[in-house]
Structure 1
Amino acid sequence: MLENKFIAQIVPNIPTSAIIRLENISKVYGAGETEVRALADVNLTVESGEYCAIMGASGSGKSTAMNVIGCLDRPTRGHYYLDNVDVAALDDGDLASIRNLKIGFVFQQFHLLAQLSALENVMLPMVYAGINAKERRDRATIALQRVGLENRLNNRPNQLSGGQQQRVAIARAIVNRPVLLLADEPTGALDSRTTTEVMDIFSELNATGITIVMVTHESDVARQTRRVVWFRDGQVVHSHLTPAEIGQVAG
């Protein structure tokens, strides 16, 4: 099984409840006078079942941190343990497998394939995971039911509202039963009413035990999470803010 491939990478003495553990993570672009330190010795732990927002000003490092957490970019230095696996040490092929098996992604732009129905879009990640056709259809149907789109299975993206398209994207993100759901400005393209509906879905998913980490610049969105991590100048300056404390930091 593909999962077993990573057993040898498991590192002892890491709490089994820690889904994310960043240890002294740095990310440097360029060299010499052009060097940019996007992340500087970041340490961060997210436990299983948490619902976190990552915030900070533009250029604070929050997007770079999200890319590292999502295995979309490699740190220059440090260790990143995802579900007890040191993913910073994996090659590109293994990272791709980790992304498919363990992480669900939701972005500001929905990234749905226009020629596919909602059901087919949600089924797509399972093709790469090697799941048979019947199970793909069954699991995709259940995922769309979870986000309230059981009557839109055969609609293509251009037949769906923005909020409905984001719901399809969320269903696609959870269909492989990931240990971590990453959302990067997931409400940035939505109006306020649709934002509330989408955030309600995230809250419902978290209530079932799914770990969620969300990058957002919107305080109203972050206040609906349970913990806020604040970045400044490539470092974590507050790792355990309560949603009620956001205004004090932002001010």
Structure 2
Amino acid sequence: MTIFLDRLRGFYHAKKDKTEKWKSFKKEFNLLKRLDKSGRFKQDWTDIYPCLDDKTDLTYFEGHYTYHPAWAARVVKKIAPAVHVDISSTLHFCTVVSAFQPVEFYDYRPAPLQLDGLTTGKTDLTNLQFATGSIHSLSCMHTIEHIGLGRYGEKIDPDADLKAIEELKRVVAPGGNLIIVVPTGIPKLAFNAHRIYSYQQVCSYFDSFTLKEFSLIPDNYLEAGMILNASPGDADQQHWGCGCFWFEKP
């Protein structure tokens, strides 16, 4: 009964807050219309585009997809390869990095991007078309945890992530670099969204590689930021952290 009442109160306050925001929105709309004498723009109520939740003291951002591409871009800059290959990471990464570094981007659902320095294509992470030991700089970020859960139209396969990992390891050249990003914390599967891995799980899957750097986006990233050179203990304390692994193939 207590939980129900708490939810009811939450619904009431949310509805009240939204009502107040609408009142403020209408007031400001009318104020702007009265003040603007230039006639530069047509102002009509039928053209409104209400943005009611942006009056905040700080700019909110989602930590995983803000920090991890920024971290990976810095790693690629250190590697400075002739070409960097990315598989199915956020498009923000390949599009920005291609401004200073030639990038090839591949995805199960190809992205028809058209930018200088960027080429795109289709691939299946469980059956990559690249030759063994052919890629010197490779990334696959916030992707492995999804494979085999059917979310993106692929077939259901509980071991698809492990198959993808073996393929990634296969195509990296000796002495080459592999950037992996996955959710980290207490291991569990949240169907059909993602898997969460422990730090030790990830390291065991890549035990034939050398870990050059592990950094972490913690649950409390708004306060802590990104933890560079984090410890395994940091990772395993998270509910849904973001583990950033930079491996090198011997």
Give TM class, smaller chain. 0.3 to 0.5
User: TM-score, with normalisation over the residues of structure 2?
Assistant: 0.33
User: TM-score, with normalisation over the residues of structure 1?
Assistant: 0.33
Select the structure of larger CA radius of gyration: 2
Which of 1 and 2 has higher RCO (CA within 8 Å, sep 6+)?
Answer: 1
